[in-house]
Structure 1
Amino acid sequence: MLAKRKLFLYIATSLDGYIATEDDSLEWLFKTEGEGDNGYSEFYNTVDTILIGRRTYDWIIEKEKGNFPYKNKECYIFSRSKSGKNENVEFINQDVVEFTNKIKRLDGGNIWLVGGGNLLHSFIKERLVDEFIITIAPTLLGHGIPLFKKNNFELELKLKNIRKLNQFVELHYEVK
């Protein structure tokens, strides 16, 4: 039997745990001096499927001025209001657990959960994330969109690797 595909959360956060400011800005992240692309290409080449929340997708389309950055990957957008496909993505309004378990059983590479915060919370709560790669920027935002929401469950992780990328630190965990 083939090994099950792994679902990764690969994301950057401020030192105090925010993935964006309250107005969805990432300027604080781009001001931080990294090392090359901070391991992005290395990770991206292991992925063939990408999962994105609708709000994050809309933000990407706006910021990239319609130039979708994940064109050669299978991309699924979780949306309560939109369905169908376009040339780059398929909109999904199915049960998160059912859909994710279905694609994890398919042949292929790793699956990347891009975001956002609400979708991430659902995936963690349902224990769908297999590994976490979290890059920490040396910035304190004080408020914004949290990486992790308050919850009533516990998830134990095992540290796989720590990597320094100039001013960033990358932490890589797998779920126990």
Structure 2
Amino acid sequence: MLKQKRNLVLFISSSLDGYIATKDESLEWLFEVDGEGDNGFTEFYETVDTVLMGRTTYDWIMKQDVKEFPYRDKDSYVFTRTATADNENVKFITHNVVEFVQDLKAREGKNIWIVGGGELLHTFIQGKIVDEFIITLAPKIIGSGIPLFKEDDNQLNLSLKGIKQWNQFVELHYECKEGTDE
């Protein structure tokens, strides 16, 4: 029996001008947009068993008024440059990010979700290990903030896999045509 490939998937919302948050890390602009249900989050969430995030994203989540870690039912990894002790919810990873994810992708399981972190996403794009991009665009132009993609010379060829509309949001689903590890 052929083993199904685990994909590394970015699932994220962005302003129309390409920002995932304001400079002060606020998402208030996002919550001002009329969506539909949870805008496909639950459907997507069921397709993953592993979540990855950078330390800044993890710290932001922990600063929110959450009663418990939102991804406690998934294997969660936080990539950081500072050695930190694992806790009941996450394992902190300080070594080679790309190699670690390639190892995860080789294991049996569901898809792997890049929860957030512009730096982390940039590392994954440079390593050519992202398989899919699911970007939900909000009809907002916020002018400045934390960009979804960093400026550099990396290029990826993508293929449109699908489009969904969630009231005022539009979800664009792309897969990488080449260059990801096979």
- TM-score between both structures, scaled by the size of structure 2: 0.94
Tell me which residue corresponds to 1:46: 47
Tell me which residue corresponds to 1:102: 103
Structure 1 unaligned spans of 5+: none
2 CA distance for matches of 1:4 and 1:91?
A: 25
What RMSD over aligned residues (CA atoms) do the two structures have, in Å? Answer: 0.9
Structure 2 unaligned spans of 5+: 178-182
2 CA distance for matches of 1:96 and 1:82?
A: 14
1 CA distance for matches of 2:67 and 2:82?
A: 20
Structure 2 residue matching 1:9: 3-state secondary structure: strand
Structure 1 residue matching 2:59: 3-state secondary structure: helix
Tell me which residue corresponds to 1:121: 122
Tell me which residue corresponds to 2:151: 150
Structure 1 residue matching 2:109: 3-state secondary structure: coil
Tell me which residue corresponds to 2:92: 91
Verify the 8 A CA contact 2:125 2:154 in the aligned structure 1: no
Tell me which residue corresponds to 1:36: 37
Structure 1 residue matching 2:72: 3-state secondary structure: coil
1 CA distance for matches of 2:67 and 2:164?
A: 33
Offset at residue 66 of structure 1 (A) = 5.5
Offset at residue 115 of structure 1 (A) = 1.1
Per-residue Cα deviation, 1:56-92 (whole angstroms, up to 9, x for no partner): 0000011134521001000000011133311100000
- TM-score between both structures, scaled by the size of structure 1: 0.97
Greater shift, 81-90 or 42-51, is seen at: 81-90
Tell me which residue corresponds to 2:180: none
2 CA distance for matches of 1:125 and 1:138?
A: 29
Per-residue Cα deviation, 1:25-64 (whole angstroms, up to 9, x for no partner): 0000011100000000000011000001000000001113
User: CA distance change for structure 1 residues 5 and 154 in 2, over 3 Å: closer, same or farther?
Assistant: same
1:15 aligns with 2:16: yes
Tell me which residue corresponds to 1:63: 64
Offset at residue 96 of structure 1 (A) = 1.0
2 CA distance for matches of 1:62 and 1:94?
A: 25
Aligned partner letter, 1:68: F
Aligned partner letter, 2:50: T
2 CA distance for matches of 1:167 and 1:82?
A: 42
2 CA distance for matches of 1:100 and 1:112?
A: 11
Percent of aligned pairs sharing the same letter: 59
- Equivalenced residue count is 176
2 CA distance for matches of 1:85 and 1:154?
A: 35
